[in-house]
Structure 1
Amino acid sequence: MLRYFTLLVCLCWLVPVQAATGQTLRLALDADPVSLDPHEQLSEGALQYSHMVFDPLVRWNTAGQIEPRLVQSWQILDSRTWRLQLREGVKFHSGNDFTANDVAYTIARLQESTDFKALFGVIDHVTVENPYSVTIHTRHSYPLMLNILAFVFPIDSEYYQGRDEITKFGRSFASANASGTGPFMVTERLPGQKLTLTRNADYWDQYSPGNIDQLEWIPIRSDSTRLAALMTGDVDVIASLSPIDIQRLQRKPNIHLASLISSRIIMLQLNQSRRKELQDWRVRRAINLAINQELIVKKILRGYGEAAGQVSASQFLGHVDALVPEYDLAEAKRLMKEAGYEQGFSLSFMAPNNRYMSDEQIAQAVVGMLDKINIKVALKTLPKAQYFQQFDERAADIMMLGWQSDTLDSNNIFEFLFACQNPSTGRGVYNANGYCNKQVDDDIDSANREMNPERRIRILQRIERKIKQDAVIVPLHWQAIVWASDTHVDIDPVLNFQNFPYVGDLVRHSEAGTQ
């Protein structure tokens, strides 16, 4: 359970780390960032990139605690007012100084972003007190302020001013240019081929052990090709491994595997707005009962995942122990008959084929499972860049989605995926269900204001039970995070349960070195 405290954080005296330099790291992932704009898309890939080129105000450490980054300390003045003291002496890649104006500018920009505005709508305004201090004023009491500050990656206001338009999946100055404060600077970008980053020689964090001078982010869509590149030494680190590949690598002495179960929930969204059949609770419930989550985890994921019966992971306050997977094919058939669809019907289904572990194979398995209750599914899979454009258009009756709670809290999932859609506030921006329930929305509002932990737990669990009762979506599993590297790369210390590796702190040992 995550707990939140009123506190003033002070930094202890530390000795700067002296790390060997001159190391190049070749990182192969299933895709490269769709944009260089850190505020364009709220996605895992975008946030992985942001932690390389920009810096957050605060971040989660490996123990699940918040630690200062560009914010040096913070203080709660009252239930609606936070004072942040910023780090001095930090420069953007352009050479401009990082100041309080950049923080205020960035938060205002985030409030205009389609993907981020719901996260930051709670902020009423930001006051610049002096060049290195800001005060954040919220619209109401809010228990998760530090959690959302982990998603504030300040941008260079002087560099972007007048050309800071956020264009999702489009062409803009910010999508093709970057000036952050992070450990790496963008030196070359060939979309779909390679993103080259070089170490920021003026990086403020002298305590980082990182010794990577050049980072090459190479997108390799195919799991097998990515694996082969690691095994032949063409790349040093890979992620998004298939379960079969994991088993192969376990027998390779020169390859290191690192894995952990994340809180990312993989689910199927059932669009009630597109099909009248999906407006019937009995049909949605039947679909849930016809899909065998345990079998998917065992046979397709080879145990690298945890079958889910709800969207809240066990470490979240909204988790309800009694809500577990319920595969029951006989009951699913009975409900289809009762709803008048014993002979079935057809649905369209879209899923990515390079975003989540074994996503395409899981989608194919779902097609076979739904066929057993006479639902004929037309499946189309796409690379993730194209897929999420289709997702934004709600282009199919069933759509696969994975969600990592940005605030490591149940209410983030509820607010983005189950709240009534509201383009002006960003509420329900990833709601492809067509679900809208006033009581759920009211409870989401209450949870966003409630400072008493016990009362807040009761609210969040009530929402979780209601989503289950209404069979809004099909929860599949919580995904495992698995990375593989050459044994000379010390990958474990920079990994975390959000899957945003802090590559700026990564150490690569020379061939003659020791681990």
Structure 2
Amino acid sequence: MKIKVIIACCLALILWNKATATTLRVAFDADPISLDPHEQLSEGTLQFSHLVFDPLLRWKQNGQFEPRLATHWQRIDSRTIRFYLRKNITFHSGNPFSAKDVVYTINRLKKSPDFRAMFDTIASVSAIDDYTIDVHATTPNPLLLNIMTYVFPMDKAFYQGKDQIIKYGETFASRHVSGTGPFTLVSRELGSRMELKRNPNYWDKHSVGNVDDIIMTPIRADSTRLAALLSGDVDFIFPVSPIDIERTKKVSGIQLVTLPSTRILLLHMNQKRRKEFRDVRVRKAINLAINQSLIVEKILKGYATPAGQLSADRFLGHINDLQPEYDLPKALALMKEAGYVKGFRISMMAPNNRYMNDEKVAQAITAMLARIHITVELKTLPKAQYFKEFDNRAADMMMLGWQSDTMDSNNLFEFIIACPDAKTGLGAYNASEYCERSIDDNIHQANREMNPERRLRLMQQVERTLYKDAAIVPLYWQSLIWAAKDNVKIQDIVNDQNYPHLGDLFVESK
């Protein structure tokens, strides 16, 4: 009898918590530039996609795959995976979800300038019936499931015929949205406020999430964002500046959650714009003049890991002995040897609200390069304006952060190292305009190599070539730091890709 009473009380508590669902006020450093999930391959876009759309599958905190709109899958042959879809799901528009929407979405992804390189490895997708699809790769593909985490099915009946993708443009998809996700969009004022409401028809009835409304406010300044949390104006913020961490830890009722991540920060040196950057001695001098360890220690307060390569240590391409090297006398000697003993002047752009302390890091780099007589004209811009300039390759040196979309080295190489090719999407974020055909060959081979040892050798060969050529300047792998009120259980829904699963967020009643 006592057991029945306990069970009844637990059920009543759960139902009461659900009934007292709350409003979550969130302040991040920036908001997504568009409602179109295929317009820009960025953290903000993917965070938004997890709110209003649903992926076929997603990463769990333990690094395993979790079924979402696909209930399960099976490999049919070396090039094909069959996905079985959930039934009785509707889009926010009221249209029913089926295989045709997934086929439509993948075909649209193959046309997206930003996503094309990833989805170019998919030859076709076909509907077997209303709730079964086959995804066919161009070759045997070791990362096919990883790629499918970026398929957030769109409402074909809602979008088709008015689904043009224009970066930073005014299109139907950039202003309207119909997904299957846990929240529906109520209103949006770009750069000011976004409001979302719980989807009453959401399929995941097992989720513990009890947030009924979300109000998202972009707050660019770290100090202002933290002040909003400490004053009680918001409940959950990202990021927290490293200089504020010790202070925040001492505040009663506030929690900090920190995770290492695989997001690499780097500098591109544009070889088309500047003949000096075509000289490997100059590129090596720049690498040797930048003190990554000092930046991590002084500006990031240890909440990052200095990098001497692109691949984080959990990726196959990582090489233990490729460490960042700081050697100012050697850098000066290389500048002299290259004929630039008096240096030269360059332009540099960086964002000022995209990465942790990005503007301060850019300013420190400017001072470091001055020591080898490179005078930097630095311009920093908010995220939305910055990436327009990045796409235009508007400065000689540009900062970029990249989280591997597939949690694999090859994604880094495809987007930021491969020879730029508008047709395939390769090199879409290669603002160095660096091009080495042997690297492209290794990228293509790694995309179809099923043997992990052979894949490892291919990707490590790319890392060694990049190091030898000093093709880019790796800076550091950035840590992720969130803060929230104690009753907001963010530790259960954050992850090292920084796509918080807010649909599953549980907020305790005070």
Counterpart of 2:336 in structure 1: which amino acid?
K
| Aligned residue runs from structure 1 range 50-449, under 5 A | 50-449=49-448
Q: Distance in 1 between matches of 2:154 and 2:454?
A: 37
Amino acid at match of 1:448: N
TM score, norm. by length of structure 2: 0.96
Query: RMSD of aligned C-alpha atoms?
Result: 0.9
* One-letter code aligned to 1:249: T
Question: How far is 1:136 from its partner?
Answer: 1.1
Normalised TM-score (structure 1) = 0.95
Mapped to 1, the partners of 2:122 and 2:427 lie a distance apart of 18
Q: CA deviation at 1:224?
A: 1.0
Q: For residue 28 of structure 2, what is the amino acid of its counterpart? A: L
CA distance in 2, matches of 1:390, 1:247: 35
Matched to 2:38, the amino acid is H
Q: CA deviation at 1:90?
A: 1.2
Partner Cα separation in structure 2 for residue 470 and residue 58 of structure 1: 38
Describe the SS at the equivalent of 1:159.
helix
Partners of 2:455 and 2:190 in 1: how far apart?
Answer: 44
Deviation of 1:438 after TM superposition, in Å, equals 0.8
SS in 2 for 1:40: coil
3-state SS of the aligned residue for 2:257? strand
- Residue type of the partner of 2:227? A
CA distance in 2 between partners of 1:322 and 1:89 (Å): 53
What do residues 280-315 of structure 1 show as CA deviations (whole Å, max 9, x unaligned)? 000000000000000000000001101101000000
Secondary structure of the 2:260 match is strand
- State how far apart, in whole Å, the 1-side matches of 2:245 and 2:502 are: 22
Give the Å deviation of 1:464: 0.7
Q: In the TM superposition, what is the alpha-carbon distance from 1:22 to its structure 2 partner?
A: 2.4
Deviation (angstroms), 1:362: 0.3
Q: What's the CA shift for 1:254? A: 1.2
Task: Structure 1 unaligned segments of length 5 or more: list them.
Answer: 1-14
Which amino acid in 2 is paired with 1:238?
Answer: I
Q: How far, CA to CA, are the matches of 2:391 and 2:382 in structure 1?
A: 14
Q: Give the distance between the partners of 1:272 and 1:161, measured in 2 at CA.
A: 41
Match of 1:6 in 2: none
Match of 1:10 in 2: none
* Code of the aligned partner of 2:130: P
Which residue of structure 2 lines up, in the alignment, with residue 460 of structure 1? Answer: 459
Aligned to 1:8: none
Which consecutive unaligned segments of at least 5 residues does structure 2 have?
A: 1-10
CA shift digits 1:1-38 (9 cap, x unpaired): xxxxxxxxxxxxxx9x7552420000001111111111
Counterparts of 2:334 and 2:480, CA distance in 1:
36
2:68 and 2:104 map into 1 onto residues whose CA distance is: 18
Amino acid in structure 2 at the alignment position of 1:273: K
CA distance in 1 between counterparts of 2:21 and 2:504 reads 14
Give 2:451's aligned amino acid: N
Where do 1:28-47 residues align within 5 Å? Answer: 28-47=27-46
Q: For 1:381, what is the secondary structure of its paired residue?
A: strand
Measured in 1, the distance between the counterparts of 2:239 and 2:472 equals 24
Which residue in the other structure is 1:474 paired with? 473
**Corresponding residue SS for 2:406:** coil
Superposed CA deviations along residues 160-211 of structure 1, whole A, max 9, x for unmatched, are: 1111111210101110110000000001111111100000000001111100
The superposition leaves residues 451-490 of structure 1 with CA deviations (integer Å, 9 ceiling, x where unpaired) of 0011110101000111111001111100010000011100
- 1:197 partner SS: strand
Give the superposition deviation at 1:245: 1.6
- The residue matched to 1:50 in structure 2 has which SS? helix
What is the alpha-carbon distance in structure 1 between the residues aligned to residue 234 and residue 476 of structure 2? Answer: 30
Shift, 1:247, TM fit? 2.0
Give the AA of the match of 2:132.
Answer: S
> Which secondary structure state, in structure 1, belongs to the residue aligned with residue 456 of structure 2?
helix
- Give the count of matched residue pairs: 496
User: C-alpha distance in 2, partners of 1:492/1:404?
Assistant: 20
CA deviation vs aligned residue, 1:346-404 (integer Å, no higher than 9, x gap): 11000000000000000000000000000000000000000000000000011000000
User: Which structure shows the higher helix fraction?
Assistant: 2
Q: Which moved more, 1:90-99 or 1:284-293?
A: 90-99
**Percent of counterpart pairs with the same letter?**
57
Aligned-partner residue type, residue 314 of structure 1: D
Farther-moved stretch of structure 1 (17-26 vs 94-103): 17-26
Following superposition, the deviation at residue 502 of structure 1 comes to: 0.4
SS, match of residue 265 in structure 2: strand
The DSSP-based 3-state class of the residue aligned with 2:369 is: helix
Moved more, 426-435 or 240-249: 240-249
Residue deviations 1:388-421 (CA, integer Å, cap 9, x gap): 0000000001100000000000000001011111
CA shift at 1:491, angstroms? Answer: 0.5
Equivalent-residue separation in structure 2 for 1:265 and 1:423 (angstroms): 24
